[in-house]
Amino acid sequence: MNLEKYVKISQEVKEAIKEKKPVVALESTIISHGMPYPKNVETALEVEKVVRENGAIPATIAIINGEIKIGLTKEEIEIIGKAGLSVTKTSRRDLAYVVANKLNGATTVAATMICAQMANIKIFATGGIGGVHRGAEKTMDISADLEELGKTNVAVICAGCKSILDMGLTLEYLETKGVAVYGYKTNILPAFYTRESDFKVNKINSEQEVAKVLKTKWDLGLDGGVVITNPIPEEFSMDRKIIDKTILEALKEADEKGIKGKDITPFLLDKIQKLTSGKSLEANIELVFNNAKLASKIAIEYSKLD
């Protein structure tokens, strides 16, 4: 397979992979679709800084003019950030089209996992994974992230699944796909904006334990990802009752406007941001920083075993 024709790995990331140094993959949909410019670019650069400060090499992933770039330059992050919603939100189904037509694409969790695996990067930090949408028994609206987790050998460090989703069905789906979901120092599944939910997960107590589990899983030939959920820091956690009420309001408006499919998540996140007077955006940014920090520590421990 001639991946070099399509994939361009930055020199820094290439050398880090070759020398088995810790590398953390980062997605780009959060830049294009997660928040407005210039906040998106500032946040993306700050996340990379957090990764570096915690001892790992950041590898932000996106498609620029049809090239899968693993390790973006500051200028390339700026391109994705400025273009915003006009950049193609790229999941597994979109990758070949975006690359073939030499377009710009922002990678979702699923596409970032695929590209990370192409470069042999095992650790990926993001905000929250996609999942089973509320009402999916009628709409069949289920994120491709879950299918990808069932087959792609990348660990995803996140703040749980986005609380706009049906968290119970998301856990059931992941269980069916054989995907382990762990809580970092907690047995409660965090709900993105808040540390609380009604769902339990297996607790994992240290970065070293995470690394051992990952190494053992893939050594045994058990393909697929692992989800490490990392609760948002206490000081930025939002009141659960308030965020639940806000989500229901946003879902009602989305339903009334007929918004669905790949447009639903950006709409809901934007609506929730407005309804919370920007507090949800601040929480979103802080939880991404927190996940990048933990992912870096896990990557360090995994690099010792690899």
- Residue 62 is which amino acid? A
End-to-end CA distance of the chain: 24
Indicate if 162 belongs to the active site: yes
Span of 85-89, 122-126, 225-229, 276-280 with lowest mean pLDDT: 276-280
Per-residue pLDDT band at 1 (split at 50, 70, 90): low
pLDDT digits (tens, 9 = 90+) for 221-250: 999 999 999 999 999 998 888 888 888 888
- Given a cut of 80, whether residue 260 has pLDDT beyond it is no
What pTM was computed for the model?
0.93
- Given a cut of 90, whether residue 272 has pLDDT beyond it is no
pLDDT at 153: 98
pLDDT at 259: 81
Mean pLDDT value across the chain: 93
pLDDT at 26: 98
In the chain, % of residues over pLDDT 90: 76
Span of 32-41, 200-209, 287-296 with lowest mean pLDDT: 32-41
Structure tokens at 216: 């053992």
- Residue 135 is which amino acid? G
Indicate if 27 belongs to the active site: yes
Catalytic hit among 27, 48, 148, 207: 27
**Dist CA 63 CA 27 (whole Å):** 11
Catalytic hit among 89, 122, 162, 271: 162
Spatial CB neighbours of 4, under 8 Å, sequence gap ≥ 6: none
pLDDT digits (tens, 9 = 90+) for 181-204: 999 999 999 999 899 899 999 999
**Dist CA 52 CA 70 (whole Å):** 16
- Given a cut of 90, whether residue 306 has pLDDT beyond it is no
**Dist CA 112 CA 80 (whole Å):** 15
- Given a cut of 80, whether residue 266 has pLDDT beyond it is no
Residues in the chain: 306
pLDDT at 265: 72
| Tokens 């950049």 belong to residue | 87
Sign of the Cα torsion 181, 182, 184, 189 reads positive
| Tokens 């934007």 belong to residue | 270
